[in-house]
Amino acid sequence: MSKLIIANWKSNHTLKSAHEWLNQVEKIFEQESSELKVILAPPFPLISGIAERIRAGTIELAVQDISPYGAGSYTGAVSTANLIGLPVEYVLIGHSERRRFFGEIDEMEADKVRVCLKADITPVLCLDKPYIKSQAEALKQAEVELPENKLIIVYEPLQAIGSGKNEDPAKVKSVVQEIKNLYGGVQILYGGSVNADNAADYLEFTDGVLVGTASLGADSFISLIKASG
């Protein structure tokens, strides 16, 4: 199975800079055959503006959040129904910035996993250590059935996110095992200050990496891809 590289742009980039980034990043896939799958998670307003070229290209699309509800009267929320017709195949759920700045909790994340699975979109559940067990319990409580290979979990230690202090790979390895024991047949990624210098260390024993800061500039992202391939 190809290793996944998820580029999480958070609240950065414009439509213009997104096209410029894609112009540069897509070129490296024309030049080299890669075993990697790149998944780009741009802010919502950029999705439809870049959807056409994503449809034709090698990069796949994710959104950074989703409403736990369906279509209806939920001002400001984007539902899976709004994504119909767009080439969005993944949704980030439960990122620590959602929990910290928007008050999201395990029960809400469980509902988001449920709506994604129902819409046949792959949930990418981000978990710091304290949430590994509690989130599994919330999913169980909410009776969310987790089909084999349809859930991606990213281990994201809070202190490593955006700090330049990536977690020791040996520690990550033991947490990956803990996640496997609890969640079974899922793909497990690492996220937190991943860059061109350290990505390969994590790819040795994970199914991929989630990259924030180093995904923003095309140059740093291309270096990361080259170091990971």
Catalytic residues: 95, 156
Q: How far is the CB of 100 from ligand PGA (least distance, A)?
A: 12
According to the binding rule CB under 6 A, does residue 42 interact with ligand PGA? no
Which residues 184-213 are close enough to bind ligand PGA by CB under 6 A?
Answer: 191-194, 210-213
- Tell me whether residue 68 or residue 157 sits nearer to ligand PGA (CB atom): 157
According to the binding rule CB under 6 A, does residue 135 interact with ligand PGA? no
According to the binding rule CB under 6 A, does residue 167 interact with ligand PGA? no
Q: How far is the CB of 194 from ligand PGA (least distance, A)?
A: 5
* Residue window 3-32: x/- pattern of binding to ligand PGA, with contact defined by CB under 6 A: -----x------------------------
According to the binding rule CB under 6 A, does residue 94 interact with ligand PGA? no
According to the binding rule CB under 6 A, does residue 109 interact with ligand PGA? no
Q: How far is the CB of 155 from ligand PGA (least distance, A)?
A: 10
Q: Look up tokens 């994604």; give the residue.
A: 116
- Tell me whether residue 79 or residue 213 sits nearer to ligand PGA (CB atom): 213
Q: How far is the CB of 56 from ligand PGA (least distance, A)?
A: 27
